[in-house]
Structure 1
Amino acid sequence: MKNTRKPFTILIAEDDPDDRLILKDAFEEAGVHHVIHYVEDGQELMDYLHARRKHSRPNNAPHPAIILLDLNMPRKNGQDALREIKSDPDLKRIPVIIMTTSKRVEDISLVYDLGANSYVLKPTDFTTLVMIVKGLSRYWFEIVELPH
């Protein structure tokens, strides 16, 4: 199945600069040609989604098709950001994929209760990360229909 749709915007909320760089490299290696924007914590994520502060100009915050969200971030953690997204009528339809190192059953249960669409453990090796990125891209951008 060939994807003939226009590129989507992927919004990644990740506080660790090394993880952001590795994710960037994994998306490139996976051949994912969508627009990727990064924010550094849950507060900046919400600023992006509400087009506030440095994201107030339209080109600085295009509407994301999906959000990849880390749980453990400063200022506003991923759980609080997810809770806010899923309680906002204008944002709640955006699929949110939790991508974190936490294997805690409590974290997994809580984020699904809050409305997360998927829970993915960050792998420890780059090859597996590329495989995950390919799978996420295929599923979210080629198989399912996303809300507009």
Structure 2
Amino acid sequence: MKNAKFTILAVDDEANDQLLITRAFRKNGVTCPIHWVSSGEEAIAYLKGSGEFADRARFAYPSFIMTDLKMPNGDGFSVLQHLKSTPEWAIIPTMVFTSSRDLDDIKRSYMLGAGSYIVKPSDFEKMRHLLGVFYAYWMECETPQTDSGGKRLDTDSEGKLGERFGNQDDNEVTG
């Protein structure tokens, strides 16, 4: 996520997992904000900037989402479904980080738009290593730019794609 302030929205209802994941990131020198919510419902409220999450200075729009699957009050699948069905959210890179090895969970997660599916290791050092690799990878990736409210910043189509396909306004289909 070059040239962007990195903010993680993490969705997990287990306080111990929240602590271990945060600790693993910090042991890797990751200092970016990690905003924890404990259900799919809270994740959607965070993304909408509603209720307690209305202050975007305090609750920055996420650059990345990591979600567990099995949670009360809206599971990880509901988070993925909302992301996929909302255009400005669909572009947010999302990782499922769960203890489930169920093949149906894996398939469903990818069908709903997960960018990756990682089974939480039980060993802290393995978790630290995995999350360090994850963070290093995403820090090198280019992602769509958004404003502080999550609105995608559109280009004027003057780049290479614009040269090849023209401005989208000029290519309207009439019938």
Normalised to the residue count of structure 1, the TM-score between the two structures is 0.93
Aligned AA (1:63): Y
Aligned AA (1:22): L
Q: CA deviation at 1:120?
A: 0.5
Q: Determine whether 1:88 maps to 2:86.
A: yes
Q: 1:99 maps to what in 2?
A: 97
**Gapped regions of structure 2 (runs ≥ 5):** 146-175
State the aligned residue count. Answer: 145
Q: Determine whether 1:12 maps to 2:37.
A: no
Residues 20-75 of structure 1: CA deviation (Å, up to 9, x unaligned): 01111101101112111111110000000000111011223211111001001110
The structure with more radius of gyration:
2
- Stretch moving more, 93-102 or 53-62: 53-62
Q: Assess, with a 3 A threshold, how the Cα gap between structure 1 residues 54 and 112 changes in structure 2: closer, same or farther.
A: same
> Among 36, 55, 58, which residue is 2:56 paired with?
58
> Among 26, 29, 41, which residue is 1:43 paired with?
41
Contact 2:2–2:139 (Cα < 8 Å) also in 1: no
Other structure's SS at 2:96 match: strand
CA distance in 1, matches of 2:144, 2:57: 20
Other structure's SS at 1:58 match: coil
**Gapped regions of structure 1 (runs ≥ 5):** none
Counterpart mapping for 1:67-146 below 5 A: 67-142=65-140, 144-146=141-143
CA distance in 2, matches of 1:145, 1:14: 26
